[in-house]
Amino acid sequence: MSSPPEKLTPMMQQYFDVKRGLPRDTLLLFRLGDFYEMFFDDAVLASQLLGLTLTKRQDYPMAGLPYHAADSYVTKLLAAGKKVALCDQQEPAVPGKLVRRQVSRILSPGTTLSANQLDAARNHYLCALACDRAGLHAAWLDLSTGEFRVATDALLDNLLPVLTALNPAELVLTEGDLARWQAAPHDQIALHALHQFCAPRLCTELPGYHFEPGLGAQTVTTALGVLNLQGFGLAPDHPALGPAGALVHYATENLCAKPENLRSLQEYRSTRTLLLDPATLRNLEIFQSTRGTREGSLLSAVNRTVTSAGARLLERWMAAPTLDLAEISRRQSLVGELVERPGTLGGLHDSLGQVRDIPRILGRLQNRIRNPRELGGVRDTLAQIPPLRACLTGAGPATALAALGAQLAELPALRAHLAAALADELPADLNDGNFIRAGFDPELDRMRALTSGNKTWLSDLERTEQERTGIKSLKVRYNSVFGYYIEITKANLHLAPSDYVRKQTTVNGERFITDALKQKEKEIFHAEENALHRELTLFNELVAAVLDHSVALAQTADHLAALDVLAGWAALAREWDYCRPVLDDADALEITDGRHPVVEQMMKSDRSLHAGSAAFVPNDTVLACDDAQLMLITGPNMAGKSTYIRQVALITLLAQIGCWVPAKACRIGLVDRIFSRVGASDDLARGNSTFMVEMNETANILNNATDRSLIILDEIGRGTSTYDGLAIAWSVVEHLHRSPERGPRTLFATHYQELTQLEKHLPRLRNFSVAVKEWNDEIVFVRRVIPGAADRSYGIQVARLAGLPLSVIDRAKTILAKLESDDATVSLPAPTVRPKKKISVTPTDDSQLSLL
């Protein structure tokens, strides 16, 4: 920061005192009257980010923004990854006296609670990490809803996938860790992966002692208001309590108070979760498409939620699909009951549409961010509980839906209280008043009557003064500078009575006051102030009443969120004809008429735009760890290989979150991890070529896959020379098939025709191809996956479809014919191509398979 001027005014002295107490990367917004001002480097930066005018005060830069618009400016600063401290006046300003000021909150991307600064449909995590010889220890907290979790794992690969899926808005790390991870020797792959996860995010570093587990246990127990953590199944020396303590400390500093909405601390265990590594999340476009949009992702294809809390729960379920068969079956049954009852589904949809974001409303109320609309949200939600319960119990007393309905707390007293107390239309700002309904509180009514009585007096005054003076155009008006005044136009000034006191001359006339008018004004102001004060008291009582029921409200909100997700899935199942998959502990993966959930929907919307476009063609899959373990899929370009192998992975993922799946029938033996290696992507910024990324991802799969995993591999080895690539692809297939009895269920799409010969030697490998029809040297895609290897690749025909110039196509055909003939000499002009050698397989002993 620029150095402060030598001689400081008392106010600037106060500014520097506050600034010194803040972390260095925090912008200070310093309240001066109706503005928040920034000075020095903060002013320069903010003026650039917010487009504010940069001014000067005694030679140093200054920029200000009106305090009532602060929310939208702060939103922009947070979106730019900045942290912002709001320093407010703690007492009314008195001329000649320095006002007491204090930081009231620090806002950062991971700790903000304001509805404007949060995406309603997304969880918003602050996450702390520590890594030592015992492994990776993590804690994450959504301060807006109070969700708080810890996890520890000896293997980074078990924890990093879920953290990537959670996509935290901000990280808290031990000072120096980030640099240490970056500088770690090349073979420390785990530390580099950790650095890679952290580097693009906003990281705040805290001194190491904040991460000490003993201190963490104390901080966390105090924050949760419990004596110990046994009730949450956590030992006092759990290593993730270090990061958990650091999180609570950081949140407390930012809120300038203890976070009041932490209800519980849950341990996340990777052994209970289907893991999707970061590459798979990206490759399978689970949360966003490769273009970076929500549209085109699996999440958007299966999201039919109508509440924000439901949308967030769906995201959480997808980030960590469960391995708990009972839980999966519970969700499936609820979906099943709803699929059977379209009437119930319609009723739920309407009522859920009126439900407000209770978890975040409670989070704000508990952390002292309060406005009348938040209470309105609780009122409107409670009003929906009776119809929702009626809807659910209407399904029959012995149903899972009725059981869920019984868990929704009606809280009739609170509902009636809020309905009686709150006005229909509620202001966003407490100080605007008029949010308490007339007739609710006699005292408030009396004060309001006084105000309105006085206002009637004013309008009567206008009439009587017009009569007294004979000036028809005389007006009684109000402005914020003079308060109430009487206005007389120039032409009538000679008629102004002598008791009128002149206050201001305007272009058209003069403004006057009288003693009686000023007396009345005082009464009005006083009555308004009293009424607002009374409203605030009533408001605080209502907030207290709501918070008294916070546990029941929070639980009900959790049930409503689940109901929203499940009702959405039932609607999806009906609309797209999904089936209920059977999940068990067996080894099989059998899908009849499976479809790709995203491509299918996109094709339908294309069809509605372009008549004649084709419909999605369903395909079967049969895999088993100990039988058809590895499907090797060949076929022309564009035939549908990638779509097919991805659809199997997506159907598996949907099945394990409890959703129904796009198929006619489906049976899946639980999968512990889904791995994928698809497409080409480079990571040039970190010095990794396309091929290097491909090999890293493949290495990860081969090192971490278990017999319970599902692996999809698309064109392994494509990023290098033909023979190197083929050799690698070949040995990868062998590796996956190495155990004599069983191996991970694998789908392997390839253009290396040579690999199909492996079927003869690897008993659990099955050749499949995507069929095409050939017609007049053109190909027609039929999108059917059939047993047996493809005969050729039709690359040139597809290249023609892509619009390559005909001269190039013809020349390619000539070269291909030569290459495929025994005479491998191609006459010039020709590209430099290594003649293709015949590749053959020598049977029996695997180790003797000769490539070349």
Exactly one of 444, 639, 695, 755 binds ligand ATP (CB under 6 A); which one?
A: 639
State yes or no: residue 284 binds ligand ATP (CB under 6 A).
no
Nearer to ligand ATP, 314 or 599 (CB): 599
CA distance 277 to 157: 8
Shortest Å distance, C-beta 637 to ligand ATP: 3
Which secondary structure element, helix H or strand E, spans residue 631, and what is its range? strand 630-634
Tell me how far CA of residue 357 lies from CA of 306, 309, 360, 840, in angstroms.
Answer: 11, 6, 6, 64
Shortest Å distance, C-beta 784 to ligand ATP: 8
What is the chain's alpha carbon radius of gyration, rounded to the nearest angstrom?
A: 35
Nearer to ligand ATP, 45 or 782 (CB): 782
Asked if 733 contacts 762 with a C-beta cutoff of 8 angstroms, the reply is yes
Q: Which tokens go with 780? A: 């027609």
Nearer to ligand ATP, 36 or 644 (CB): 644
Ligand-binding site membership of 631 (annotated): no
Site string for ligand ATP, 766-785 (x = CB under 6 A): -----------------x--
Ligand-binding site membership of 788 (annotated): no
Exactly one of 168, 509, 640, 717 binds ligand ATP (CB under 6 A); which one?
A: 640
Shortest Å distance, C-beta 716 to ligand ATP: 13
Ligand-binding site membership of 640 (annotated): yes
Shortest Å distance, C-beta 321 to ligand ATP: 24
Ligand-binding site membership of 544 (annotated): no
Ligand-binding site membership of 641 (annotated): yes
Alpha helices, DSSP H, located in 187-257: 189-198, 213-224, 241-255
Nearer to ligand ATP, 310 or 717 (CB): 717
Shortest Å distance, C-beta 301 to ligand ATP: 15
Q: Which position's Cβ is nearest ligand ATP?
A: 640
State yes or no: residue 712 binds ligand ATP (CB under 6 A).
no
CA distance 517 to 511: 13
| DSSP secondary structure, 522-557, as one string | HHHHHHHHHHHHHHHHHHHHHHHHHHHTHHHHHHHH
CA distance 203 to 108: 11
Exactly one of 128, 159, 638, 663 binds ligand ATP (CB under 6 A); which one?
A: 638
Exactly one of 642, 676, 698, 709 binds ligand ATP (CB under 6 A); which one?
A: 642
Shortest Å distance, C-beta 804 to ligand ATP: 14
Range in contact with ligand ATP (rule: CB under 6 A) among 56-64, 358-366, 635-643, 694-702: 635-643
Tell me how far CA of residue 113 lies from CA of 145, 163, 620, in angstroms.
Answer: 9, 21, 47
Q: Which tokens go with 626? A: 């100990």
State yes or no: residue 150 binds ligand ATP (CB under 6 A).
no
Shortest Å distance, C-beta 832 to ligand ATP: 24
Q: Residues in contact with ligand ATP, total (CB under 6 A)?
A: 13
Range in contact with ligand ATP (rule: CB under 6 A) among 146-154, 434-442, 539-547, 633-641: 633-641
Q: Which tokens go with 726? A: 């083929």
Nearer to ligand ATP, 647 or 698 (CB): 647
Ligand-binding site membership of 503 (annotated): no
Tell me how far CA of residue 247 lies from CA of 49, 259, 687, 837, in angstroms.
Answer: 28, 11, 33, 61
Nearer to ligand ATP, 164 or 643 (CB): 643
Site string for ligand ATP, 415-444 (x = CB under 6 A): ------------------------------
Ligand-binding site membership of 704 (annotated): no
Shortest Å distance, C-beta 640 to ligand ATP: 3
State yes or no: residue 474 binds ligand ATP (CB under 6 A).
no
**Distance, C-alpha 182 to centroid of its chain:** 27
**Distance, C-alpha 836 to centroid of its chain:** 50
State yes or no: residue 747 binds ligand ATP (CB under 6 A).
no
Ligand-binding site membership of 639 (annotated): yes
For the CA atoms of 195, 198, 201, 202, the dihedral, rounded to the nearest 10 degrees, stands at: -110
Specify the 3-state DSSP secondary structure of 479.
strand
State yes or no: residue 643 binds ligand ATP (CB under 6 A).
yes
Shortest Å distance, C-beta 765 to ligand ATP: 19
Q: In the chain, what is the greatest distance between 2 CA atoms, to the nearest angstrom?
A: 122
Alpha helices, DSSP H, located in 353-425: 358-366, 372-393, 400-406, 412-421
CA distance 202 to 176: 15
CA distance 739 to 205: 46
Site string for ligand ATP, 560-599 (x = CB under 6 A): ---------------------------------------x
Phi-psi region of 189 (alpha: psi -120 to 50; beta: other; left: phi over 0): alpha
Tell me how far CA of residue 635 lies from CA of 462, 576, 617, 712, in angstroms.
Answer: 90, 28, 16, 16
Structure letter (DSSP) for residue 67: G
Shortest Å distance, C-beta 224 to ligand ATP: 49
State yes or no: residue 718 binds ligand ATP (CB under 6 A).
no
CA distance 528 to 432: 11
Place of tokens 């300003």: 93
Shortest Å distance, C-beta 345 to ligand ATP: 29
Shortest Å distance, C-beta 629 to ligand ATP: 21
Place of tokens 């609820």: 334
State yes or no: residue 637 binds ligand ATP (CB under 6 A).
yes
Provide the residue count of the chain. Answer: 852
Residue list 776-835, contact with ligand ATP (CB under 6 A)? 783
* Angle in degrees, CA 195, 197, 203, rounded to 5: 80
Site string for ligand ATP, 593-622 (x = CB under 6 A): ------x--------------x-xx-----
Please report how the helices 358-366 and 372-393 are oriented relative to each other, as an axis angle in degrees rounded to 10: 140
State yes or no: residue 675 binds ligand ATP (CB under 6 A).
no
Range in contact with ligand ATP (rule: CB under 6 A) among 107-115, 175-183, 380-388, 630-638: 630-638
Range in contact with ligand ATP (rule: CB under 6 A) among 37-45, 77-85, 397-405, 639-647: 639-647
Range in contact with ligand ATP (rule: CB under 6 A) among 29-37, 469-477, 572-580, 638-646: 638-646
State yes or no: residue 641 binds ligand ATP (CB under 6 A).
yes
**Distance, C-alpha 369 to centroid of its chain:** 22
Tell me how far CA of residue 394 lies from CA of 347, 573, 621, 753, 768, in angstroms.
Answer: 11, 21, 39, 59, 49
Shortest Å distance, C-beta 296 to ligand ATP: 12
State yes or no: residue 409 binds ligand ATP (CB under 6 A).
no
Nearer to ligand ATP, 150 or 599 (CB): 599
- Residue list for the binding site for ATP: 635-642
* Contact footprint for ligand ATP (CB under 6 A): 599, 614, 616-617, 635, 637-643, 783
- Residue list for the binding site: 635-642
